[in-house]
Structures are given as structure tokens and as C-alpha cells.
């Protein structure tokens, strides 16, 4: 009796452009980006629109004005945009943002589980409440995003891309942000496991692991005098690499979102200007 190979071979996610497969490539692919009101999420949304995808933009309801501004930019590129506010830690919100995306834009092909928070604090000064909030947003939020996106992609039957925000802090511990590191290690565990679980459906699951990137997340008082966003934290920590731009991350995510990246799954792509070597 022939044994089933393990791990099973990757299925092609999308048909080849030369039409060698039976199914037609959908006219436009659709991405949902969480935490898209600013920073890396906004840059990813803009980049994926440049790549020709329609975009559903998520963030918490308090960021509606920022989301509307991003939606206008996406539409000015000739793509469709829709806003699906919600909290990634709330199961009903994640289920609803996925179903609204498919209802309003026709499908969900690319899920970017980007929403996250940072805490610059040693473990001994960190409270249980801070731990629970960190793991809820950075851990449970990514778990729910993977779960509901994958269910929709399996239902559609044409594969997909799930791409999650980890960090270089998810590869090596740090004495100044211990619970953030723990949450990003959790993301990488979820990504590797989901990659194995979902490859039979032609869904790839990967993580992006930035070093410091100039966004509101790492802005500290004194940045302006020090030469820009992130320069204070760089100085405080004696950080030996350059602080990157959100577009540096968006370019890598753009590759992972493409049909052509079908053979890359379970990976943690580091984007840190050479700080970490794998
Ligand atoms: N900036 C960096 O240096 C850096 C480095 C490594 C990894 N990352 C990761 O990249 C991702 C994006 O970071 P950023 O720098 O753009 O941060 P940011 O703070 O600028 O943006 C994060 C966005 O996520 C949203 N968000 C927070 N909690 C949410 C929730 N419960 N539901 C929905 N949205 C929520 C915020 O409102 C915000 O708009 C995060 O996961 C972060 O951990 C950032």
C-alpha cells in the first residue's frame, strides 16, 4: 500500500498564468490588513494596492479617520478599498471582518495579521495585566486572524497567503522587552504550525520579522532632536543597525503575498538591515 508522504507536497496556490490549470485566476485578488491605520500596516496596504490587489483595511474603531485617509489613497491607485473596523482580540470582530471583506470585495486571498503593540519594559517591572494585553493582541489576535482567514480561503478553494507580524524580538530574547519577545515567539510558533496544517489547501503562512522600523510604535520623546522617529530608542539601546522604513517591510510582504511565492511557507523573513543573519 502506498504510504502518504509526510509532510504532504505543497499544492500550487493559484493557477499558472499560462493557463495550465483548470481554474481561472480570479480577476482581482483581495487582501485584508489588520492594524492598517498607520505604520507598517498602512505601508503594506499601499504596497499591495500598487501590486493590484483590492484592500480591506482593519484597525480599532477609534482610528476610523486614519483608516478613511488610507482608503482614499488606495482608491486613488484605482483599487477598491473597504473599512472593516474591529478589535483583533475579539473573536466575533475577526469573524465579521473576514466575512465583510468577502461580502464587499468578493473574496479573501491574502490575510496580513499585522496589528500589534510594543512594551519597552524589563520583565521584573511588568504586570500581569500588561502580559495579558500583550498576549491578547500580539498572540490571540494573530491566532484568530489565521483561523478565520484560513476557513474562508478553504471555503473558496483557491489557496491563499497568510502573512503575520513577528519581529527580530521573536527570534532572540531581549532584556528590555521580555513580554513583547514572548508574544512574537508565539507568532512564529503559530506560523510554522499553520503552514504545516494549511499546505494541503494551497495556503502559505509566513512571518515578517522587522528590526526597528520608524513608526508611531517606537516613537519616543526626543526623536525630533535626535534626527527622526526611532532615533531615541536606537540611542538608548545602543542599537547597532539603521532604523528602517515601513516600505522596507512592505516590499518583503509584497513578495510573500504573490502567487509566485507558493514554495515559501513556514518562514520568518527578517528585515533588519543586516542586524541578524540566518
Ligand atoms: N515598528 C517596529 O519597529 C516593529 C518592529 C518589529 C515588529 N513590528 C510589528 O509590526 C506590526 C506593526 O507595527 P507598527 O510599527 O506599524 O505599529 P503601530 O503602533 O504604528 O501600528 C499598529 C496598529 O495596530 C493597531 N492595533 C493595535 N491593537 C489592535 C487591535 N486590538 N485590533 C486592531 N488593531 C489594533 C493600532 O491601532 C495601530 O494602528 C506590529 O505587530 C509590530 O509588533 C514593528
**pLDDT tens-place string over residues 183-215:** 999 999 999 999 999 999 999 999 999 999 999
Residue 1 has pLDDT above 50, yes or no: no
Residue 231 lies in a domain: no
Q: Determine the pLDDT at residue 164.
A: 99
Residue 37 lies in a domain: yes
239 is catalytic: no
Question: What is the distance between the alpha carbons of residues 92 and 14, in angstroms, rounded to a whole number?
Answer: 29
Residue 23 lies in a domain: no
Residue 253 lies in a domain: yes
Q: Determine the pLDDT at residue 26.
A: 52
Residue 110 lies in a domain: yes
Residue nearest to atom 41 of ligand 1 (CA): 116
How many domains is the chain built from?
1
- Cβ(37) – ligand 1 distance below 6 Å: yes
> Comparing 3-7, 120-124, 168-172, 231-235, which segment has the lowest mean pLDDT?
3-7
Selecting among 14, 148, 180, 208, the annotated active-site residue is 180
Selecting among 184, 199, 234, 258, the annotated active-site residue is 184
For residue 39, the CA-to-ligand 1 centroid distance in Å is 7
184 is catalytic: yes
Range of the domain at 52: 30-210+246-271
Mutate to test the pocket of ligand 1, among 34, 86, 215 (most ligand atoms within 8 A of CB): 215
Burial class (CB in 10 A: 0-12, 13-18, 19+), 166: buried
Residue 107 has pLDDT above 80, yes or no: yes
Of the chain, the percentage scoring pLDDT greater than 70 comes to 90
- Cβ(159) – ligand 1 distance below 6 Å: no
Residue 219 has pLDDT above 70, yes or no: yes
Note the pTM of the prediction, 2 decimals.
Answer: 0.93
**pLDDT per position as a tens digit, 128-152:** 999 999 999 999 999 999 999 999 9
Among the atoms of ligand 1, which is closest to the Cα of residue 39? Answer: 16
Q: Which residue has the higher pLDDT, 144 or 1?
A: 144
Residue 12 lies in a domain: no
Give residue 266's Cα distance to chain centre: 14
Which CATH number belongs to the domain containing residue 178 in this structure? 3.40.50.720
Amino acid at each position: 500500500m502506498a504510504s502518504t508522504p509526510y509532510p504532504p507536497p505543497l499544492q500550487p496556490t493559484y493557477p499558472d498564468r499560462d493557463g495550465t490549470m483548470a481554474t481561472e485566476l480570479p480577476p482581482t485578488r483581495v487582501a485584508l490588513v489588520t492594524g492598517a491605520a498607520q505604520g507598517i500596516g498602512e505601508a503594506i496596504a499601499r504596497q499591495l494596492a500598487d501590486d493590484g490587489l483590492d484592500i480591506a483595511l482593519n484597525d480599532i474603531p477609534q482610528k476610523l479617520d486614519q483608516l478613511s485617509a488610507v482608503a482614499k489613497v488606495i482608491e486613488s491607485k484605482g483599487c477598491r478599498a473597504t473599512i472593516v473596523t474591529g478589535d483583533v482580540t475579539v473573536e466575533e470582530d475577526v469573524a465579521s471582518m473576514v466575512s465583510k471583506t468577502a461580502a464587499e470585495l468578493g473574496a479573501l486571498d491574502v490575510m496580513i495579521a499585522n496589528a500589534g503593540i510594543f512594551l519597552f519594559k524589563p520583565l521584573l517591572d511588568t504586570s500581569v495585566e500588561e502580559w495579558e494585553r500583550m498576549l491578547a493582541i500580539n498572540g490571540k489576535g494573530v491566532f484568530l486572524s489565521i483561523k478565520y482567514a484560513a476557513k474562508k480561503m478553504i471555503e473558496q478553494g483557491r489557496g491563499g497567503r497568510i502573512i503575520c507580524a513577528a519581529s527580530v524580538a521573536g527570534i532572540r530574547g531581549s532584556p528590555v522587552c521580555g513580554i513583547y519577545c514572548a508574544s512574537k515567539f508565539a507568532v512564529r510558533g503559530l506560523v510554522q504550525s499553520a503552514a504545516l496544517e494549511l499546505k494541503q489547501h494551497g495556503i502559505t503562512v509566513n512571518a515578517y520579522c522587522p528590526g526597528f522600523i520608524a513608526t508611531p510604535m517606537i516613537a519616543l520623546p526626543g526623536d525630533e532632536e535626535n534626527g527622526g522617529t526611532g532615533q531615541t530608542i536606537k540611542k538608548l539601546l545602543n542599537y547597532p543597525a539603521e532604523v528602517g522604513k515601513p516600505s522596507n517591510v512592505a516590499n518583503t510582504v509584497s513578495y510573500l503575498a504573490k502567487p509566485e511565492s507558493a514554495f515559501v511557507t513556514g518562514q520568518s523573513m527578517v528585515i533588519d538591515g543586516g542586524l541578524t543573519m540566518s
